[in-house]
Amino acid sequence: MAITEDAAAIAGELAHLRRAIHAEPEIGLHLPLTQEKIVAALDGLPLEITLGSALSSVTAVLRGGVQGDSAGGTGGGAPVVLLRADMDALPVSERTGLGFESRIDGTMHACGHDLHSAMLVGAARLLSERQADLPGSVVFMFQPGEEGHGGARFMIEEGVLDAAGERAAAAYALHVASAELRAGVFSTRGGPMMAAAEALGITVHGRGGHGSQPHHAADPIPVACEIVTALQVLVTRSFDIFDPVVITVGSFHAGTTDNVIPDEARLQVTIRSFSAASREQVREAVVRLVHDIASAHGLTATAKFRDSYPVTVNDQREAQFAAEVVTDLLGEDRYQPQPNPMAGAEDFSYVLEQVPGAFVMLGACPPPVDPATAPFNHSAFAVFDDTVLADGAALFTELAVRRLNR
């Protein structure tokens, strides 16, 4: 049977798994319930399974039946392809009204990682059925902690890229979207696919006093306000518009009442960039700007970065290969080129820094909802269509089979 037919045959089981994961979402690096479901779903397959030490990851290796020398690997042995799915949820209170909605208060699979996990389980089943004909190995990377915890970095440190004994020659990841793309449509691009993301905390240190006598205090609020506006000028006057940078101050906290000058003002900032050069430049420029403005007013300030992800850069050849596989497998109407990078961030970027590969989007907006107006990923109302599970599993499988044979 064709891969698409085999995938369709297990679609119901994949939907059942996806809904079970969705109902019990977990956040961060430690996902014991999710890990247990994944391991159970892989039971009986001819896989070498390793559980993570620093996080609740699952690494499964499928060794093909045709092992031998090949130019596809990096060390002269049989080639290796890595397929990745993230498993963690978000601190969001679900409001979809689905029959299988989250049973854990304040936690929701609002970014579709439950679908990713189920699709990768499906690929493991489909590829296991084809084990005898595979001229290499497949590594299945089930990863916690994508949402700001850098789980991919921890899995790399624990050896996921070399889990088959040979460094992966290519790596692929799928990500569903509850809006923008209609259900079943795949999209990717060569080069930058997702932005680098920096979370920056700024504290302006002043000296509190009475609101009626500001000359006896050192007011941090106007200094913090000046920093907010200067950050926007920094973007428009220091960076190439064709290599964009986005700076957003999402939180500004200072003071407790109208007649008290506070001791400090605090800002929370997100910064997005699309090249390594701009990322390095903006990190240096922002810190310098914050310190210089505070100093000009006789105050001090601290600027600390946290939760940073590098740019997700697709290999040009692998992105083109993924697009060709989609059209060959599912039809030309199922592929839509991604014209510009997305301003979201992804820790699959850490994998793509070391292994050529592609990060591919998959529309999962349930018909007849209009993708242009549907709630997007991370919304409490985001809904993802189970019908895309078979297509995702099939694409994962076809990518691995063709890449190992290339």
pLDDT reported for residue 66? 77
pTM: 0.92
- Distances in Å between the alpha carbon of 268 and those of 202, 223, 250? 6, 15, 6
Tokens, residue 145: 């902690």
CB within 8 Å of 367: residues ≥ 6 apart:
182, 183, 385
pLDDT reported for residue 67? 64
Give strand pairing partners of 376: none
Query: Which residue stretches of 331-375 are H helix?
Result: 348-352
pLDDT reported for residue 307? 77
Alpha carbon distance 128, 329 (integer Å): 19
DSSP 3-state of 242: coil
**Phi, psi (deg, nearest 5) at residue 84:** -120, 140
First-to-final CA distance of the chain = 22
**Nearest CA to 355 among 197, 165, 162?**
162
What is the per-residue burial (b if ≥16 Cβ within 10 Å, else e) of 73-99? beeebbbbbbbbbbbbbbebebebeee
Task: Report the CATH number of the 196-309 domain.
Answer: 3.30.70.360
Virtual torsion, Cα 58, 170, 77, 71, nearest 10 deg: 170
Tokens, residue 300: 């001090």
What is the per-residue burial (b if ≥16 Cβ within 10 Å, else e) of 367-400? eebebeebbbbebeebbbbbebbbbbbbbbbbbb
Alpha carbon distance 392, 390 (integer Å): 5
Give strand pairing partners of 108: 90
Give the residue extent of every domain in the chain.
3-193+312-405, 196-309
Alpha carbon distance 178, 181 (integer Å): 8
Residue with tokens 């019990």: 24
Tokens, residue 146: 């994508």
Pairing type for strands 58-63 and 137-143 reads: antiparallel
Range list of β-strands (E), 124-259: 137-143, 170-182, 186-187, 191-194, 196-205, 209-210, 245-254
- What is the pLDDT tens value at each position of the chain, 406 positions in all? 699 999 999 999 999 999 999 999 999 999 999 999 999 999 999 999 999 999 999 999 999 987 654 444 444 578 999 999 999 999 999 999 999 999 999 999 999 999 999 999 999 999 999 999 999 999 999 999 999 999 999 999 999 999 999 999 999 999 999 999 999 999 999 999 999 999 999 999 999 999 999 999 999 999 999 999 999 999 999 999 999 999 999 999 999 999 999 999 999 999 999 999 999 999 999 999 999 999 999 999 999 998 789 999 999 999 999 999 999 999 999 999 999 999 999 999 999 999 999 999 999 999 999 999 999 999 999 999 999 999 999 999 999 999 999 8
**Nearest CA to 246 among 272, 275, 285, 284?**
272
CATH superfamily of 3-193+312-405: Zn peptidases (3.40.630.10)
Alpha carbon distance 5, 171 (integer Å): 24
